[in-house]
A and B are shown apart, each in its own frame.
Chain A
Amino acid sequence: MSAGKARFFLQAKWTGARSKMSRQQQTFLGNGPEMKVSIGKLELKNPVMLASGTCGYGPELADVLDLTNIGAIVVKGISMEPRAGNPPPRIAETPCGLLNAIGLENVGVEAFISSKLPWLHERNITTIVNILGNSVGEYQALAARLNKCPGIHALEVNISCPNVKEGGVAFGTDPEQAAKVAGAVVQACDLPVIVKLSPNVSDICSIARAVEDAGASAVSLINTILGMAIDIQKKTPVLGNVFGGLSGPAIKPVALRMVWQAARCVDIPVIGVGGITSASDALEFFMAGACAVQVGTATLVDPGAAGRVLQGIVDFMQENHYQSLKELRIGP
């Protein structure tokens, strides 16, 4: 752990107050255990977010999950131009997991701003936009374009998608490249910048430190783990793209280990992602050092999962007399 560790908790500001409200009210109005968390200058009402690529642009989930109760929604990755995505089949179920090779199908930044963002903005939903480019210049242009758009609260820079040929993970596996992208985005906007890291690296700390030094407000990890499945009857890979990204409960131990490592080598907040399905999963991530979590594949299975995770965290903290999330962290 680095000497500057205490700064993590200063940046992730926690305040506390209690009152005699219902458990539901306590959770959502910020009473009971302190659930607020800060990422750069962005304050989230609670630490549970919806992970990019598993929650659409919001309306897809609106009638089965109250998005205003969630810490933030991280919308499907956006590129400058619309992308059609990869040829099918795009998904395959594996034990406790899901392989996907969607290929970042998205509407493009202009359509996002004109037709997707207003819906989120009108409802005051805390919105983090996941961005993806083929070049440092494209990341920079995306950040500049989204910078002054009302309703965007932060950017998450995707340098870790395993399913596209250019960009994506190519920037996420080399500390120098990762820092270039992060620095360019930070320069191009006034928004807090989260960098989403790939697990497909041998040294997560060097990447995390590189983007921290480049000015990132936080890191989120992990993106999916590169994998594949083969249909033995057809003697062919299951996915049209051959390889895909593995998500779901199967990857949680890997994600937890990498969050533990990252939380001990950077001072910026670490957001835990990877296989979180229940409150106990999320609590493991807080104990490993995460200041917030993202619920991803679980939402695909159970659209209300994030709300259940949030409530379960509050229940656990109350039952075990934790006043704040930072108290959950193990050791240094």
Chain B
Amino acid sequence: MPGRFDISSRIVSQKEIAPDTFLLRLYAPEIAENAVPGQFVMVRPGLEEERDPLLRRPFSVHRADPDAQQIEILYRVVGRGTRMIARKQAGSHLQVLGPLGRGFSLPKGKIPILVGGGLGTAPLLFLADVLEEKRAVVVLGAVTRSQLLRLQDFSSTGLEVLVATEDGSLGNRGLVTEVLDRLLGRLEKDARKNVVVFSCGPMPMMRAVAGLCGNYSVECQVSLETAMACGLGLCLGCAVCSDTGAFLHVCRQGPVFPAGQVDWSKI
């Protein structure tokens, strides 16, 4: 797999954009130039000589800016490792390995629908940035308005953005899947062949998205998240069950998979 780099990356900026949710901007020329939407990086929380926490943490590339030679990572503090990263200030460095994995594949001529829940919006903004098909639709969901992330940035891409919040504080009251259901339901049977859904979010949401797309016979790609040690295909730790009963490895075969390849009953 060509084009992977392990670099000491300077923090350009780090902002807490929602409670415990951070936007990290890194100077990483090699990664910014080579990454495609859906790929990820592995970030070491501590210094080289520190052994605890031991493993790097995987993060989707949230945005890549080859001109500025920078990438963005959107993440939430969920444990010790992410807390350590969140404490780092602009000007300090993080060891970053990437870009890793297989990203979204963009079928020619199909109209994309991007479906993100909560922090699942992380890989989708990069995708929205590079889409040439301007008829694409973005559907974003969260529990409440304050947890809808990067809404303004999605709108700035010029794509149509639909919003759902569970408490009705913004957009449709309910789940993103209900919005997706209505969108797909409105399409003629033939038109569904010309649509592709890209989804990232909590597993129950993606399972529901995959189910809907299956029912409507719409192509669907999902970006999966698992515990991961190396990100390189060395440890085989990031296995998920496939429809054939064999295991898929999220770090190398994914993190983006055709939804039909995944055994959703075992996730």
Taking Cβ atoms with an 8 Å cutoff, the residues of A that contact B are: 53-56, 60-61, 63-64, 76, 84-85, 87-93, 95-98, 100, 102, 105, 248-249, 277-278, 297, 299-304
Is A300 touching B2 in the complex (CB atoms < 8 A)?
no
Is B48 touching A302 in the complex (CB atoms < 8 A)?
yes
Most A CB within 10 A of own CB, among B56, B227, B229: B229
Tally chain B residues at the interface, Cβ within 8 Å: 36
Across the interface, B229 reaches (CB within 8 A) one of A76, A88, A300, namely A300
Taking Cβ atoms with an 8 Å cutoff, the residues of B that contact A are: 1-4, 6, 44, 48-49, 51-56, 95, 97, 226-230, 232-241, 245-247, 252, 266
Q: How far is the CA of A302 from the CA of B51 in the complex (A)?
A: 11
How distant is B264 from chain A, measured CB to nearest CB, in Å?
A: 14
- Summarize B's interface: helix, strand, loop or mixed: loop
Is A300 touching B240 in the complex (CB atoms < 8 A)?
no
Is A91 touching B52 in the complex (CB atoms < 8 A)?
no
Chain A residues with CB under 8 Å of B232's CB are: 56, 60-61, 64, 300, 303
How distant is B266 from chain A, measured CB to nearest CB, in Å?
A: 8
Is B235 touching A100 in the complex (CB atoms < 8 A)?
yes
Across the interface, A98 reaches (CB within 8 A) one of B55, B97, B226, B241, namely B55
- Summarize A's interface: helix, strand, loop or mixed: loop
How distant is B197 from chain A, measured CB to nearest CB, in Å?
A: 25
**25 pairs, A vs B, C-beta closer than 8 Å:** A55-B234, A56-B232, A56-B233, A60-B1, A60-B232, A60-B233, A60-B234, A63-B1, A63-B2, A63-B3, A88-B226, A91-B228, A93-B227, A96-B51, A97-B54, A100-B229, A102-B236, A278-B49, A297-B54, A299-B230, A300-B232, A300-B234, A301-B55, A303-B230, A303-B232
Q: How far is the CA of A302 from the CA of B237 in the complex (A)?
A: 16
How distant is B59 from chain A, measured CB to nearest CB, in Å?
A: 16
How distant is A240 from chain B, measured CB to nearest CB, in Å?
A: 9
Chain B residues with CB under 8 Å of A85's CB are: 236, 239, 247
Is A96 touching B52 in the complex (CB atoms < 8 A)?
yes
Is A88 touching B241 in the complex (CB atoms < 8 A)?
yes
How distant is B81 from chain A, measured CB to nearest CB, in Å?
A: 8
Closest to A252 in B: B51
Chain A residues with CB under 8 Å of B4's CB are: 63-64
Chain B residues with CB under 8 Å of A76's CB are: 236
Is A56 touching B234 in the complex (CB atoms < 8 A)?
yes
Is A98 touching B48 in the complex (CB atoms < 8 A)?
no
Q: How far is the CA of A278 from the CA of B51 in the complex (A)?
A: 11
Closest to A62 in B: B1
Across the interface, A100 reaches (CB within 8 A) one of B3, B51, B233, B237, namely B237
Q: How far is the CA of A184 from the CA of B53 in the complex (A)?
A: 42
Q: How far is the CA of A56 from the CA of B252 in the complex (A)?
A: 12
Is B234 touching A299 in the complex (CB atoms < 8 A)?
yes
Chain B residues with CB under 8 Å of A304's CB are: 6
Q: How far is the CA of A64 from the CA of B226 in the complex (A)?
A: 23
Chain A residues with CB under 8 Å of B237's CB are: 90-91, 100, 102
Closest to B57 in A: A93
Chain A residues with CB under 8 Å of B266's CB are: 87
How distant is A222 from chain B, measured CB to nearest CB, in Å?
A: 18
How distant is A295 from chain B, measured CB to nearest CB, in Å?
A: 12
How distant is A242 from chain B, measured CB to nearest CB, in Å?
A: 16
Across the interface, A105 reaches (CB within 8 A) one of B3, B229, B239, namely B239
How distant is A284 from chain B, measured CB to nearest CB, in Å?
A: 14
Closest to B245 in A: A84
Is A91 touching B229 in the complex (CB atoms < 8 A)?
yes
Closest to A299 in B: B234
Q: How far is the CA of A204 from the CA of B54 in the complex (A)?
A: 28
